[in-house]
Structure 1
Amino acid sequence: MGNLLILFTASLCLCLFVALLYVLYKYWWVPHRVQFIMNSQGIRGPPYEFIHGNNKEALQMQKEASSKPMALTHDIFPRVMPHDYSCIKKYGKNYLSWKGVRAELVITDPELVKEVLKNSEKAFSKPKTSYFFKKLLGDSIPTIKSEKWARHRKLANHAFHGESLKNMIPAMIASVGTMLEKWKDKEGKEMEVFQEFRFLTSEVISRTAFGSSYLEGEKIFDMLTKFTLIIGRNFYKAKFPITGKFWKSADEIESDKLEKMINDSVMKIVKQREEKVMTGEVDSFGHDFLGLLVNAYHDPDEKNMFLIQDIIDECKTFYFAGQETTNSLLAWTTLLLAIYTDWQDKTRAEVIEVFGNQNPNSEAIAKLKTMTMIINETLRLYPPLNGVVIYKLRWVGATEAQR
């Protein structure tokens, strides 16, 4: 019995020693070696802190920036990305930053960013997504690589080419008409346009890409909104080594539930589309985004076939990315037009001149020169980058750094 106790104690001590060595190697030795190599090449940045990297500092700056009132100005970069702004001022256009234990080479030189985005030699691969982003996006266009990415991208391009977008205009007009009808009794009153545009973009996406009304997609959008809040809460959090493998935080448990509920909701929409074909109500799965995905699922050619999880992941991504980006851009454009009322008047006059009392159509939309100019300028000033191009390269090893 005594020998067994000694053996167990020795084994436990050995395991703890090995675990300690692993933690020291991964969370202390490797980051400091990376920092030394990059510094030797003239790339500096805020010093690495054990386990947390620069997360604590970045989070504190974010809280301080958000707590202060902001004037109506285009100088928004220090507000929305204070840590990046501070590092650029202190360390220059290109610097080394730490997302927990992960090193990131931050590039703000437009020419270097262009070189990275061209990626002609396939030297810059997509980084591994975080736990919560993986739950949200799954294996969809933003995360997958190589041939699978090309196949998914080709399908998405086909769903949203010029002719398809023209066919979506009536559905967009119907959604905007519903929104304007709600606005009739709000003349002269303050409105939260960001929330209003959230309903609008949700309705448009549901109708044009999935052939359903907002009511059908409402649950999905609400769950995705909860998901983004979880991602925001955990963006600057670093998980303590090893312990994360044995227990889950409240946010991780909640994200698991949301993932399953979103998957079930998307599957319900897919099944409804399939049942309409099976019962003879329609003769095809349709030519919208969902229809093309379901067609790919039933494709007899294995090279072109989509798995059911592929459909779910692409639907989640389009719901999330399409709604979030368009909603923010519409709200930002409205804010700028509210500030520069002379351009608001010019745009209104142009729309009335081109369309009169008629609904927009694809041919006449091309004649909206002032509107096109405003949208292009809005994109240039669109936060959070405010004209500063930022690209973050994930550290991939000492060999690459030495090159």
Structure 2
Amino acid sequence: MEISFSSMAALAASAVALLWLWRFVKWVWLKPKILESYLRRQGLVGTHYTPLVGDVIRNYSMLSETISKPMNLTDDISPRVLPLAKNMLRTHGRIFFTWLGPVPVITLANPEQIKEVFDKVYDYEKPHAFPLLKLLTNGLVYYDGDKWAKHRRIINPAFRLEKIKNMVPAFYHCCSEVVQEWERLVADKGSSCEVDVWPWLVNMTADAISRTAFGSSYREGQMIFKLQAELAQLIAQTFQKAYFPGYSYFPTKSNRRMKEIDREVRVLLGGIIDKRGKAREEGVEAPSDDLLGVLLESNYEQSKGNGMSIEEVMRECKLFYFAGQETTAVLLVWTMILLSQHQDWQARAREEVMRVLGDRKPDADSLNQLKVVTMILYEVLRLYPPVPELSRAVNKETKFGDLTLPGGVHVALSILLVQRDAELWGRDAGEFKPERFKDGISKATKNRLLFFPFGWGPRICIGQNFSMLEAKMAMAMILRRFSFELSPSYVHAPYNVFSIHPQFGANLVLRKL
């Protein structure tokens, strides 16, 4: 009997092992090869599949080589930020596929095809291939279908223009503090001073999102930002160096730290939200003009039907931080770098700021009268979009123009490649020419989907007005207090850390006006 039981146990173990082996072979080899064959039969071109790793090692190697050396200010940044995609565009045209591990990724650089993906939000969903990203960008940007629609409906009131206008005093306060610190630095050195403006802009936009999101709890918000910034760096390093499913569960030092940060952020957010909830229960008037207050009020109105849980509110707050701070800091740093290089446009922007604002405290209406500043910001977003590409997942067989995409592939919408494409924008596509936008976005392009730094369609970035108004405030206050130029020590080296950062900072020479 014992022999029989042992034999049966061995057979069961063998069967389980064979089942797992079959699943592994199917995942690593059979399914990718079937998908590759399906795509190639329809005329799509791409790289050949390497088992398990796909193009991850190749892409990492190309990135490592490109970021090992700086570049000229006038060079196209695409080969440095998206080296594999740029090379494939050059050799294979506007649609091609590469591999993210065993998953084929179809990159689109054709505006009409990109528009089709943006319009069909229920066919092209958010990919969930890298679980660690959920620690950083979970929430609205991560959801699909009816859950996305519900969260978008609840969050929308927080980003209506009339609500954002109420946040302008917070923008002013944060910008004033930085400008005053820069004035002290310049005064200590005489008439001018070299400053790496990048960390200052990062901290300024972090302070702004802390104050606008959490009001009187902004100090706890600042701590959340510091933790989120560390988390973003750790995730970026992991994403570049090691991609394979299950890696996030390995007890590595960085993985342990990421989980620890997530716990700390949840405790801080939970405390802030709990404090607001208790105030409501006790009849104490809680802040209602910050993002969290508006969100909680909107969610309370929905809760009688189908509102968000506290856990979901916390996820949205984490997303406020990463998306709200990151986009604006990146936009501001490249604006200052490009205006340092193009002194004529810096002078035109300053003249407009002085004419429209004078020495008055800026408000939302006066900031929206800054047409030249707006043209400049649009052109910076075209040349240096904060996020160089967006991704979508195809989870079921989907008709796509003349093609049929099988379930299991991803689609990459390349913002950077489209916005710098000379065939689409003209021979001067790589040049800084804000006059393109003198009559607005619609007149700047033959096709609206040539310019989409905030995405497009139903899932367009909910915070774009927030980011643009904050950027206008910052540039207006900087321009009327300083002139600035590139320092001899400045090294031009854009690189991709979820968004396009200056690898070696942004050393500028500030002069007090």
Same fold at TM > 0.5: yes
Structure 1 position 351, deviation (Å) = 0.8
Structure 1 position 384, deviation (Å) = 6.5
Please say if residues 220 and 268 of structure 2, whose CA atoms lie closer than 8 Å, have aligned partners that are also in contact.
no
Corresponding residue for 1:56?
57
Structure 1 position 246, deviation (Å) = 7.5
Corresponding residue for 1:155?
154
CA distance 1:35–1:298, shift in 2 (3 Å): same
Corresponding residue for 1:93?
94
Structure 1 position 28, deviation (Å) = 0.4
Corresponding residue for 2:229?
225
For residues 63 and 335 of structure 2, the distance between their equivalents in structure 1, rounded to whole angstroms, comes to 24
What's the % identity of the aligned pairs? 30
- In the alignment, does 2:271 pair up with 1:268? yes
Any residues of structure 2 matched to 1:4-403 within 5 Å, and which? 4-73=5-74, 75-119=76-120, 122-128=122-128, 130-138=130-138, 140-187=139-186, 188-212=192-216, 215-236=219-240, 237-239=242-244, 247-278=250-281, 282-296=284-298, 298-299=300-301, 301-383=303-385, 392-396=391-395, 400-401=404-405
Please say if residues 285 and 295 of structure 1, whose CA atoms lie closer than 8 Å, have aligned partners that are also in contact.
no
Structure 1 position 319, deviation (Å) = 0.8
- TM-score with structure 1 length normalisation? 0.90
CA distance 1:285–1:321, shift in 2 (3 Å): same
For residues 245 and 136 of structure 1, the distance between their equivalents in structure 2, rounded to whole angstroms, comes to 13
CA distance 1:402–1:50, shift in 2 (3 Å): closer
Structure 1 position 397, deviation (Å) = 5.7
For residues 70 and 329 of structure 1, the distance between their equivalents in structure 2, rounded to whole angstroms, comes to 20
Please say if residues 113 and 391 of structure 1, whose CA atoms lie closer than 8 Å, have aligned partners that are also in contact.
no
Structure 1 position 8, deviation (Å) = 4.2
Q: How many residues align?
A: 395
The amino acid across from 1:238 in the alignment is Y
Structure 1 position 154, deviation (Å) = 2.6
For residues 166 and 385 of structure 2, the distance between their equivalents in structure 1, rounded to whole angstroms, comes to 31
What stretches of structure 2 of length at least 5 have no aligned partner? 187-191, 399-403, 408-513
For residues 22 and 146 of structure 1, the distance between their equivalents in structure 2, rounded to whole angstroms, comes to 29
Shifted more, 56-65 versus 18-27: the winner is: 18-27
Structure 1 position 343, deviation (Å) = 0.8
Structure 1 position 142, deviation (Å) = 0.5
Shifted more, 345-354 versus 308-317: the winner is: 345-354
For residues 61 and 349 of structure 1, the distance between their equivalents in structure 2, rounded to whole angstroms, comes to 43
CA distance 1:178–1:19, shift in 2 (3 Å): same
Structure 1 position 67, deviation (Å) = 0.2
Residues 251-273 of structure 1, C-alpha deviations (whole Å, 9 max, x = no match)? 33322211111111111222333
Structure 1 position 368, deviation (Å) = 1.4
For residues 141 and 51 of structure 1, the distance between their equivalents in structure 2, rounded to whole angstroms, comes to 30
The amino acid across from 2:130 in the alignment is S
Structure 1 position 295, deviation (Å) = 2.5
Structure 1 position 320, deviation (Å) = 0.8
The amino acid across from 2:128 in the alignment is K
Please say if residues 56 and 99 of structure 2, whose CA atoms lie closer than 8 Å, have aligned partners that are also in contact.
yes
The amino acid across from 2:237 in the alignment is R
Please say if residues 223 and 262 of structure 1, whose CA atoms lie closer than 8 Å, have aligned partners that are also in contact.
yes
Residues 181-233 of structure 1, C-alpha deviations (whole Å, 9 max, x = no match)? 11113322222211101111111111122104653322211111121112212
Corresponding residue for 2:449?
none
Structure 1 position 401, deviation (Å) = 3.0
SS of 1:367's equivalent in the other structure is coil
Please say if residues 44 and 96 of structure 1, whose CA atoms lie closer than 8 Å, have aligned partners that are also in contact.
yes
For residues 383 and 95 of structure 2, the distance between their equivalents in structure 1, rounded to whole angstroms, comes to 22
For residues 302 and 26 of structure 2, the distance between their equivalents in structure 1, rounded to whole angstroms, comes to 50
CA distance 1:53–1:392, shift in 2 (3 Å): same
Residues 138-173 of structure 1, C-alpha deviations (whole Å, 9 max, x = no match)? 3x1111223332232233321121211221111111
Structure 1 position 278, deviation (Å) = 4.9
SS of 1:97's equivalent in the other structure is strand
Structure 1 position 95, deviation (Å) = 0.8
CA distance 1:209–1:287, shift in 2 (3 Å): same
For residues 266 and 335 of structure 1, the distance between their equivalents in structure 2, rounded to whole angstroms, comes to 35
The amino acid across from 2:172 in the alignment is I
Residues 48-86 of structure 1, C-alpha deviations (whole Å, 9 max, x = no match)? 111111100000001000001111125111111111111
For residues 285 and 353 of structure 1, the distance between their equivalents in structure 2, rounded to whole angstroms, comes to 36
Pairwise CA RMSD: 2.5
For residues 314 and 257 of structure 2, the distance between their equivalents in structure 1, rounded to whole angstroms, comes to 19
For residues 264 and 144 of structure 1, the distance between their equivalents in structure 2, rounded to whole angstroms, comes to 23
Please say if residues 103 and 395 of structure 1, whose CA atoms lie closer than 8 Å, have aligned partners that are also in contact.
no
CA distance 1:397–1:49, shift in 2 (3 Å): farther
Please say if residues 202 and 325 of structure 2, whose CA atoms lie closer than 8 Å, have aligned partners that are also in contact.
yes
Q: Which of the pair is proportionally richer in strand?
A: 2
